[in-house]
Amino acid sequence: MSVMPFHLAIPVTSLAASRDFYADLLGCEQGRSSEHWIDWNFFGHQLVTHLVAAMPNQPAPNNVDDKAVPVPHFGVVLSMQDWQVLAHRLQAAEIAFVIAPYVRFKGQPGEQATMFLLDPCGNALEFKAFNDIGQLFAC
């Protein structure tokens, strides 16, 4: 089965701050844009940041592996090497993580490297990687 790119549109209160974060920090290529939105190549997927006057309220986080995971959140599964490179880049930029890079479910089905951070407008992102991608949907 071939996986097609997903499309996700998210609210932001500043396109300039979004450009700094998604292009300069994460390295996403900018696509089409207007004064109200920007398309991003988000690791092969289409992410659109739409300008809004105010961010919606966020619900309480969920407890996963004894960590407060923000809900909602989005992100991508990277190769372990790409995940490590991104983790080092974010740490070097002194990003304030919601959940710092670590290995979740160590020694259990679904073991994964993960990290959570917020974009400048408060959207929560998760980046994860598996040593064994077959564990992605493990029970």
For residue 3, pLDDT beyond 90: no
Q: What domains appear along the chain, each with residue ranges and CATH number?
A: 7-135 (3.10.180.10)
For residue range 116-138, what is the model confidence (pLDDT) as tens digits? 999 999 999 999 999 999 999 98
Sheet holding 112-118, edge to edge: 74-78, 124-129, 112-118, 97-104
For residue range 59-97, what is the model confidence (pLDDT) as tens digits? 899 999 999 999 999 999 999 999 999 999 999 999 999
Contact 22, 47 (CB under 8 A): yes
Alpha carbon distance 72, 70 (integer Å): 6
pTM score? 0.93
